[in-house]
Structure 1
């Protein structure tokens, strides 16, 4: 692409292989950014000197961090590993960005909330994580806020699905091809989010550069069962999707009962309302039916 110095220059940690990193790299390029996607082997994000050199050599205006510990259940038994990636890494990157005067974009999660609400969470609502994963991600947010970095965007997102890597929707579709019935949890409600859309919102925010915490999720809400059912229907599969309570599918880490996020602040910042998650599920399913990705 042609360099556009007015748009910016972005390094995307995890940009070559990640579920979010890959569409984010494309969205930023489409928005006119010069983009340098990396893998952890090419640029060790824990090597502060290497990160600082990369920021300087590339002339970066933005650093996007899509590297995280996302194995929610495994985190319960690997507290140091979860905190290293989800707290210590954002803290290190914030220091590097502060020194280089670069905007840091960090991705967080709906798991920072307790899940006890009855209305969509806003950015101002009190946090209260009930899992190691959620606590470690919240600690990463706080590390950035306490770092002295003035240029940051923290995007809380949820229930990601999209092309290129394993995700819940893809797993459900693969199972539905060979089964007459899928039994899926129906008493956990959240905000399904398409990675392609999240990447686009991220690029929009990068163009405008507002500072703060933003909830970045698909519009509307649904249960895991409803998400699976929409995907199966979109794929034209005959598999029945049956709702079950969480008690029938025990997991090591606590899952929020209700973790719907309000994206009103994001909509105001980017000048458009994010698409309904149901629409994006259909788009994703249709696209996967016509691609080898």
Structure 2
């Protein structure tokens, strides 16, 4: 990808999505013209309608953040999760085929079963256990089967960031008025700050080295450790107590260990993602400052 200021990025889901909004902001700051969409409407599920939309927008790059992300509800709504996470990516790929427009598609650590115990590589078997994870895995496959020349698939995890509800913000809200909370400690993953993910995505795209990548902040944490660090950074006196998953039952099976190895990204860009600890501190400080100014 060249770096001409006149380039245009189309962010599917960039109007209100947690990741989409950060992507739109990062690309705009880098000098790109940015166009965003809301959540997918019925016309987006028709290849010809979507192709006409892409031709009208005439972007130099399409970033797909459209996804069904309600992990537990997906167990009750498997067909809707499949429609958004599997069928729609395939439709996007078919609509772009022959248009010579690169596509960036975002996927998830939930494609893995969490039984490995060491950080997951891109080529490790995707053996999801939840409906959400299975449909996201199938969405990846739908795109790969099309043989697109210019495709990035970026798996990421445990997103938190500005302007939208997320786990860290929820923990801060709970701890503001409580003396203690219990948070699961036996699920370990890769916390990821959406502004960092957006910047790293931009750097990766500029390499033109298409393929499948894992991308997250460096380090690993349990949900309990992530919550504890956020609460500490906010200066709250709330105690975060570790609890096992069995004490916080959820409908969907979560991977017990889903840390992502990002060395392929580093090899392509020369960038080592910064530690999640730094990222969560920055996020909490910015959230606290925003609350104080209101």
Q: Give the TM-score taking structure 2 as reference length.
A: 0.94
Alpha carbons 2:63, 2:103 under 8 Å: kept? yes
Structure 1 residue 44: deviation in Å?
Answer: 4.5
RMSD of aligned residue pairs (Cα, Å): 1.6
Structure 1, gaps ≥5 residues long: none
| Alpha carbons of structure 1 residues 136 and 43: separation in structure 2 relative to 1, 3 Å | closer
Q: Equivalent residues in 2 for 1:97-136 (5 A)?
A: 97-136=96-135
Q: 1:133, 1:243 → 2: CA distance?
A: 26
Q: 2:114, 2:6 → 1: CA distance?
A: 38
Aligned equivalent of 2:194: 195
Aligned equivalent of 1:169: 168
Q: Deviations over 1:164-221 (max 9, x none)?
A: 1110000000000111001000000000000111111111122222111100111000
Alpha carbons 2:40, 2:66 under 8 Å: kept? no
Aligned equivalent of 1:11: 10
Q: Equivalent residues in 2 for 1:24-173 (5 A)?
A: 24-40=23-39, 44-173=43-172
Structure 1 residue 41: deviation in Å?
Answer: 6.9
Structure 1 residue 43: deviation in Å?
Answer: 9.1
Q: 1:272, 1:235 → 2: CA distance?
A: 29
Structure 1 residue 53: deviation in Å?
Answer: 2.4
Structure 1 residue 104: deviation in Å?
Answer: 1.1
Structure 1 residue 245: deviation in Å?
Answer: 0.5
Q: 1:22, 1:177 → 2: CA distance?
A: 26
Q: Deviations over 1:217-242 (max 9, x none)?
A: 11000000000000000000000000
Structure 1 residue 47: deviation in Å?
Answer: 3.7
Structure 1 residue 147: deviation in Å?
Answer: 1.1
Structure 1 residue 50: deviation in Å?
Answer: 3.4
Q: Give the TM-score taking structure 1 as reference length.
A: 0.95
Q: 1:7, 1:214 → 2: CA distance?
A: 27
Structure 1 residue 54: deviation in Å?
Answer: 2.8
Aligned equivalent of 1:215: 214
Structure 2, gaps ≥5 residues long: none
Aligned equivalent of 2:273: 274
Q: 2:231, 2:131 → 1: CA distance?
A: 32
Alpha carbons 2:13, 2:40 under 8 Å: kept? no
Paired residues, number: 290
Q: 2:14, 2:152 → 1: CA distance?
A: 17
| Alpha carbons of structure 1 residues 260 and 270: separation in structure 2 relative to 1, 3 Å | same
Alpha carbons 1:43, 1:50 under 8 Å: kept? no
Q: 1:144, 1:235 → 2: CA distance?
A: 41
Q: 2:163, 2:64 → 1: CA distance?
A: 18
Name the SS of the counterpart of 1:99 in structure 2.
coil
Q: 2:40, 2:116 → 1: CA distance?
A: 41
Structure 1 residue 268: deviation in Å?
Answer: 1.7
Q: Deviations over 1:23-67 (max 9, x none)?
A: 100111222322111113789432433322232223212111111
Q: 1:206, 1:8 → 2: CA distance?
A: 13
Structure 1 residue 252: deviation in Å?
Answer: 0.5
